[in-house]
Amino acid sequence: MRIALLSPLPPEQTGIADYAEHFRSALTALGVEVFTPLHGVSAAGRLAQLAGFDWSQVQLVHAELGGGRLAEFEALDWLRQHQPQLPLTATVHDPERLVWRRARLPWPLSWLERLPRPFPQISALLADPLTLFEERRLARHLSRAVTLTQTGARCLSARMGLAQGQAVAIAHGNLSLEPAALATLDPLRLLYFGFIYRGKGIEDLLSALAQVFQRHPALRGHLRLTLAGGTAPEMAFGPAGNYLDELRDLARQLNLPDCLDWQLDLPADAIAATIQAHHVMVLPYRESKKLGLLGAMRGTSGALSWANACGRGVITSNARAFAEEVSSGNGSTFEQGDIGALADAIEALALHPERATEWAERATAIGLERRWPNVAARFLDVFQSVCRENR
């Protein structure tokens, strides 16, 4: 089978690029020939590449949609118009919408974009009916829209008006890793893992940990937190200032430096060992209030996939579709943005550390089910089904 993949790929530093690279490798191992016609093509050359590529050599086009990117959405929409016979599928990483915003706003809204806040936000809201119309038009043209959770599939279907069976849930794939036993539970080691930038709730995590120590001073020295992951410059060092310095200042104010470790810009080959050196991952994500005006984001997280692959439980907020991801005994959830509730969850684990072992056992089983060869086989079944339908 031959397919075209429209997606970011490494060395781009995004979770979707990493996902797509594992996806491509796993499909290739199953004998699928994967073309990447837009990889390395500049925005200026994208239209010419779409027009010049020989689409007859592929049986299906699959795209990765999400992460604020628009190139893949625009490419699919071009194919909808210029190659209508070609089956199109996509993994929608941020349901209940496909892309949430337009690349270019019509005049006079484009003029508002150039004004100070809040006018750009107002212009996006005013343009949203047009954005939603274009998303629904493309979504209904897709042979299959794949989401990473059942929650995401339900929400995407409802918002996009999809036909029954058009949305399919296939869990986030994870690497095939050797299990590693938990280290001794004293000290109990917590890990935040992921890209480190504003909006991930990391400040909430630091504040919650400080609350736990205020309630139980004896836990100091028996409970540690590591902040690990990437620090993409455009996100960690943006116009709002140096976010890493802000986190370090907050940690000092909360008297946490002696309980806090940093592993920034973690190399890819060190991720698994780092996660398995800890007992539980903590993901305190908050949903964007700005996006909340446009809909409900019901995606999941690559970090959760890593936790399963490494056989580690998770304490996570109930943002996105995270509650579904830890609903089978591999972790616990708390109300997003509720620092006290997060402190309660950490405290409960610290006082009953055997839960980390129970969660790890269940996460290991989930990780085995979701190894990339298994996930790629499910995608291949979907692709073959779509091709049979389009004969």
Determine the Cα–Cα distance for residues 218 and 351; give it in Å rounded to an integer: 11
% the chain with pLDDT above 90? 83
Contacts of 85 (CB under 8 A, 6+ apart): 390
The strand pairing partners of 145, in sequence order, are 90, 167
CA distance 306 to 174: 6
Supply the angle between the helices 243-253 and 202-215 in degrees, to the nearest 10: 10
Q: Is the pLDDT of residue 179 over 70?
A: yes
- Mean model confidence pLDDT for the chain: 94
Q: What is the pLDDT of residue 240?
A: 53
* Residue 227 pLDDT greater than 90, yes or no: yes
Q: Is the pLDDT of residue 235 over 70?
A: no
Split at pLDDT 50, 70, 90, the class of 236 is very low
Q: What is the pTM of this model?
A: 0.91
pLDDT at 290 exceeding the cut of 90 = no
Return the pLDDT at 276: 98
CATH 2.60.40.10 fits 2-173+372-389, yes or no: no
Under the banding of pLDDT at 50, 70 and 90, the label for residue 156 is: very high
The confidence score (pLDDT) of residue 386 equals 98
**Predicted local distance difference test score (pLDDT) of residue 254:** 98
What pLDDT is stored for residue 120 in this prediction?
Answer: 83
Q: What is the structure's pLDDT at 237?
A: 44
In the predicted structure, residue 232 carries a pLDDT above the cut 70: no
**188-369 topology per CATH:** Rossmann fold (3.40.50)
Taking only the tens place, the pLDDT of each residue in 78-109 is 999 999 999 999 999 999 999 999 888 888 88
| Residue 169, C-beta contacts closer than 8 angstroms, at least 6 positions apart | 146, 147, 148, 149, 150, 152, 153
Q: Mean pLDDT across the stretch 319-343?
A: 97
Going by their DSSP bridges, the two strands 167-169 and 280-283 should be labelled as: unpaired
Lowest pLDDT segment from 167-181, 184-198, 208-222, 224-238? 224-238
Structure-model confidence comparison of residues 289 and 333, the more confident one: 333
How far apart, in whole angstroms, are the C-alpha atoms of residue 148 and residue 91? 8
Please give the full DSSP string across 231-299, using - where no structure is assigned: --HHHHEETTEEHHHHHHHHHHHTT-GGGEEEEES--GGGHHHHHHTSSEEEE-----HHHHTT-----
Q: How does pLDDT run across 109-136, given as a tens digit for each residue?
A: 888 878 888 888 888 899 999 999 999 9
Does the pLDDT of residue 233 top 50, yes or no? no
238-280 pLDDT tens trace: 455 689 999 999 999 999 999 999 999 999 899 999 999 999 9
Delimit the CATH 3.40.50.2000 region(s) of the chain: 2-173+372-389, 188-369
pLDDT at position 340 is 98
Beta strand segments in the chain, E:
2-6, 33-35, 60-65, 88-92, 144-147, 167-169, 188-193, 223-229, 237-238, 241-242, 260-264, 280-283, 313-317, 331-334
pLDDT digits (tens, 9 = 90+) for 293-330: 889 899 999 999 999 999 999 999 999 999 999 999 99
Selection from 155, 228, 204, 198 nearest residue 288 by Cα: 198
